[in-house]
Structure 1
Amino acid sequence: MSSVTDAEAPSRARRLKAVSAAAHERVDTGVMQAAPFATPAKYADFLRFQYRLHRRVETLYADPALQPLLPNLADRSRLAALEADFGDLGLVPPEAPPGPALGRAEALGWLYVVEGSNMGAAILAKEAAKIGYSSEHGARHLAGHPEGRALHWRRFTAALDAAELTEDEERRIEAAATAAFNHVEALIGEELG
């Protein structure tokens, strides 16, 4: 019986994906069942949902302690694009407090979830286009990165995988990713349900 070597062990990003797969599926299903692109009014609900999530994590994107771990982290924030989307549509963003300060492992778990949502945003952007919104008007926050979504995600996961964490932090990052998905599910119920 051979033991698994470090080289054979799944990457941190792959472990997080496995741990959160069921929650991720529930979030995807919840969003699509809410039909946020059926009407402009439903899309406005979707924007509120997105804004509340991104407002909660905005402090993580600006956290100086995380910048060396995740290069260009501050540039990844989509909050300004969301604010522009609200302006495009003549809407006012909802009151949404920033999230609490998080430890390094917890912050990485939350960022994994929020950054991962940008991959799924490709489908959402196509749906938004059907009701007249684009990366230039109303759906800016769904736009892909100029270098491409997949490459942008791979760069994030490579940096995430390279971060040196203790065994305790490894457990905490998984718990944080689960907590982030649970929060997203709650927001779906509050804004899209």
Structure 2
Amino acid sequence: MNAIVQHAPELPLSKRLKSGTTNDHDSVDSLVMGSQPFQDLNRYGRFLLLQHRFHGAINALYQDPALNALLPGLSELPRFDAVCADLRDLGLDVPATPAAVHPASSYAALGWLYCSEGSNIGAAFLFKETQQIGLGADNGARHLAAHPDGRKLHWRQFVALLDGLELSGEQQAQAIQGARDAFDFYKAALKDVFAGV
């Protein structure tokens, strides 16, 4: 008698992205906290420059027509302008907008957006830390403040859009690689911004 082989159900894209980038995420988390960005306003200013570099590089993705067709409402989510406002709140010069990243495909771009939007969940802890140095949602920490719908609801809505996409295995692989590229970009930018500080 032949044994019945049960195949595990296909993981949704968000789960594949999470499992495919766990080490990348953990290393970024360690690097960020190791840089002590909330020790004082000077170090937090460096952190804002890091955020400016990342969010500036991906800002154009939020306006991309193809990506907005895949993820309706995407154009309402970028945080680059809030980062610029945070820099001004601290009396810092706002650098020129960084060169835009150009993921290999719209599917790779999904991975970049997954990293950006996913960071909003972790930002709850970071936002609390900014309050210890006198900052908040209206002064210096705008880009870390919760989405008007709340962090968890906003994230669930974003994940539902991702998981509702019908992607081939190759397209999912491109998304995972895009997420890894985003984490690598962030790590390189962090090391550069905090070098010698």
TM-score (norm 1): 0.94
- Quote the Cα distance in structure 1 between the aligned partners of 2:116 and 2:94: 19
The alignment of Structure 1 onto Structure 2 pairs a total of residues equal to 191
| Cα deviation, residue 192, structure 1 | 2.6
**Superposed displacement of residue 102, structure 1:** 4.5
Give the counterpart letter for 1:97 in structure 2.
Answer: A
| 2:142 maps to 1:140 | yes
Q: Are 1:86 and 1:93, in contact at CA under 8 Å, matched by a contact in 2?
A: yes
Look up the match of 1:20. Answer: 21
- Listed as ranges, the matches of 1:55-70 within 5 Å are 55-70=56-71
Question: Residue 176 of structure 2: which of 160, 164, 174 is its match?
Answer: 174
Deviation at 1:27?
A: 0.4
Q: Is it true that 1:38 corresponds to 2:39 in the alignment?
A: yes
Following the alignment from structure 1 to structure 2, what is the Cα–Cα distance between the partners of residues 47 and 67? 27
Query: TM-score, with normalisation over the residues of structure 2?
Result: 0.92
Q: Where do 4+ consecutive residues of structure 1 move more than 4 Å? A: none
**Matches of 1:139 and 1:39 in 2, distance apart?**
14
Return the alpha-carbon distance in structure 2 between the equivalents of residues 86 and 43 of structure 1: 10
Give the letter for the 1:25 counterpart: D
Aligned counterpart in structure 2 of residue 4 of structure 1, from 4, 7, 21: 7
Structure 2 residue ranges without an equivalent (≥5): none
Once residues 42 and 65 of structure 1 are traced to their aligned partners in structure 2, the CA distance between those partners, rounded to angstroms, is 37
Query: Matched residues in 1 for 2:17 and 2:28: separation?
Result: 15
Q: Which amino acid aligns with 1:72?
A: G
8 Å contact from structure 1 (residues 89, 138) kept in 2? yes
Instruction: Provide the C-alpha distance between the structure 2 equivalents of 1:137 and 1:4, rounded to a whole number of angstroms.
Output: 52
- Equivalent runs, 1:23-102 vs 2, <5 Å: 23-95=24-96, 96-100=98-102, 102=104
Distance 1:43 1:2 in 2: 54
Question: Between the two proteins, what is the percent identity of the paired residues?
Answer: 40
CA RMSD between the two structures: 1.3
Q: Is the 8 A contact 2:124 2:144 kept in 1?
A: yes
Give, as a single letter, the amino acid of the residue that structure 2 aligns with 1:3. Answer: Q
Aligned-residue offset at 1:129: 0.6
1:104-136 Cα shifts (integer Å, max 9, x gaps) = 111101101111111100000000110011011
Q: Deviations over 1:150-175 (max 9, x none)?
A: 11011111101111222221111111
Deviation at 1:31, TM superposition (A): 0.3
* Secondary structure of 1:137's aligned partner: coil
Q: 2:94 and 2:53 mapped to 1: Cα distance? A: 9
**Which one-letter code corresponds to 1:4 in the other structure?**
H
Of the three residues 128, 138, 150, the one matched with 1:126 is: 128
In terms of Rg, which structure is larger? 2
Tell whether the 8 Å contact from 2:103 to 2:178 is kept in structure 1 after alignment: no
Give the conservation status (yes or no) of the 8 Å contact 2:63–2:75: yes
Moved more, 42-51 or 172-181: 172-181
Q: Which residue of 2 aligns with 1:110?
A: 112
